[in-house]
Amino acid sequence: MAADRSKFSNKFGFIAAAAGSAVGLGNIWKFPFEVGNGGGSAFLIVYLVFCFVLCYPILVTEIAIGRKSQKSAAMAFKPLGHPRWSIVGILGVFCGVLILSFYNIVAGWVLGYFVEMLLGNFDIGKNFGTYIQDIAEVGGYTIAFLIATTYIVSMGVTKGIEKASKLLMPVLLAIIIILTIYAFTLDGASEGIHFYLVPDFSKLNLNVIYRALGQSFFSLSLGLGAMMTYGSYLSSKENIASAGVYITLADVGIAFLAGLMIFPFVFSQGLTPEGGAGLIFITMPGIFETMGPTLGVVIGSLFFLLLAFAALTSTISLMELPVAYMVDKHKIKRKKAVWYSAGIIFLLGIPSMLGNGYSEYFTSFITYVGAEKPVNFMDFVTDVASNTLLPFGGLMVSIFAIYAWKRQKLFKELSVGNPNFTKTFLSRYIAFSLKYICPPILGIIFIITVLEIFFGVKIL
């Protein structure tokens, strides 16, 4: 069975796919508004520290577990001799499906905005609040996006996932660089850069730390086995530790660039950065309008095309989770498994779609103990699945690697394709973080946030 498992064709193919998974709406849509709500650069700094100190070692471990076991997330622990840990992988698959259910809706907004920009309808930004309540329109684009994802995943690892990522990732990088350079030429750019880069640590509180942690895991696609699954398609010739460095740098680099691009835009329009989930959808069309009809249409549609590409290489990695699970575990044919998954994901996404004003119930879905305002369904799923369960999954992966699988075996796998690994600084860094940093930090933040945010217990 293992012998005929598909493989990425080479290191670049793998890095493109894994970086494609990492770089997504998380970097270009979510990151800027989290920075905006989290007080600018204070959030940025905490996010960067989490990415390098906690996430990189976990990323490398996830890839190693996947490659060694030759199995997708939910099935990966058994071949390593620890079947009970499969629960972590299964939780990951569920969590991935939940995340994709709302992610796909935002991707639908992106696709819709791409069309509106092509048509020169810049007023859409002011009408964002009503646009997302237009269920027929948003629903249509969401379905279109889901079909594109499903189609690519149905083509398999090499001809689908790898090919799409190799094509889309370089284009994405080019577009974002062009837009950042343009942003720098605007009046107000320096104010935006100041907000983004000059730290104000008085803004730091538990909530900022909690969200920065969730964001770092979300943005690197960690904590639910997506990277394990991709790792299972990686050849034993490749060097995992260095691939991990490239993936982390690509992800952090693009998030950083996205901030450099957005904040000058926001400030040049005299808007405030605390725009919430609508930040780029509200701000950007206004920017494009000021560029005049022709340039505005070109740059505006380019921007939303960039977002759509970023989203697509991420949705395919999320979709691969349930698909690989069905293929590996239940021996269902890939072509069938993708359509089953798509159906489930679409249905689960309906409450998120309705929760943007259309249905009062899903819009004011839940009020956390002690909070003033209710949050909508999408924010609730983000808090549970992304901000809480992803770091929890990371915690489990670090405990598994050190205490169940053990460091020697992890290092043995990391030395495959990299014979000098144990002599490198990275090996010491990874082992130290997995043992002494990840479990205590992730454990403490998990306990405190669950108690404080969901149960209203005051600890800090």
- The Cα–Cα gap between 130 and 51 comes to 36
**Under 8 Å between Cβ of 344 and 322:** yes
Exactly one of 17, 25, 111, 319 binds ligand TRP (CB under 6 A); that residue is 25
Torsion of CA 94, 97, 100, 101, to 10 degrees: -110
Exactly one of 72, 180, 219, 229 binds ligand TRP (CB under 6 A); that residue is 219
Site string for ligand TRP, 398-437 (x = CB under 6 A): ----------------------------------------
Q: Give the nearest distance from C-beta 107 to ligand TRP in angstroms.
A: 10
CA angle 228, 233, 234 (to 5 degrees): 90
The span of 25-33, 67-75, 149-157, 282-290 binding ligand TRP (CB under 6 A) equals 25-33
101 near ligand TRP, judged by CB under 6 A: no
221 near ligand TRP, judged by CB under 6 A: yes
Exactly one of 7, 8, 16, 26 binds ligand TRP (CB under 6 A); that residue is 26
The span of 19-27, 64-72, 173-181, 266-274 binding ligand TRP (CB under 6 A) equals 19-27
**Under 8 Å between Cβ of 308 and 110:** yes
Site for ligand TRP in 130-149 (CB under 6 A): none
Q: 240-268 and 279-290 are packed helices; what angle lies between their axes, rounded to 10 degrees?
A: 60
Q: Give the nearest distance from C-beta 231 to ligand TRP in angstroms.
A: 13
Q: Which residue is nearest to ligand TRP (CB)?
A: 26
Closest C-alpha to 291, from 147, 428, 179: 179
Helices (H), 269-400: 279-290, 293-330, 334-354, 360-363, 377-381, 390-399
Exactly one of 15, 22, 258, 414 binds ligand TRP (CB under 6 A); that residue is 22
- The Cα–Cα gap between 217 and 213 comes to 6
Helices (H), 199-292: 206-219, 226-231, 240-268, 279-290
- The Cα–Cα gap between 404 and 218 comes to 25
- With respect to ligand TRP, which residue has the nearer C-beta, 26 or 264? 26
24 near ligand TRP, judged by CB under 6 A: yes
218 near ligand TRP, judged by CB under 6 A: yes
Under DSSP, is residue 160 helix (H, G, I), strand (E, B) or coil? helix
Exactly one of 7, 18, 19, 27 binds ligand TRP (CB under 6 A); that residue is 27
Task: Quote the tokens at residue 208.
Answer: 């900022």
317 near ligand TRP, judged by CB under 6 A: yes
**Contact residues for ligand TRP, defined by CB under 6 A:** 21-22, 24-27, 96, 99, 218-219, 221, 224, 226, 314, 317-318, 390
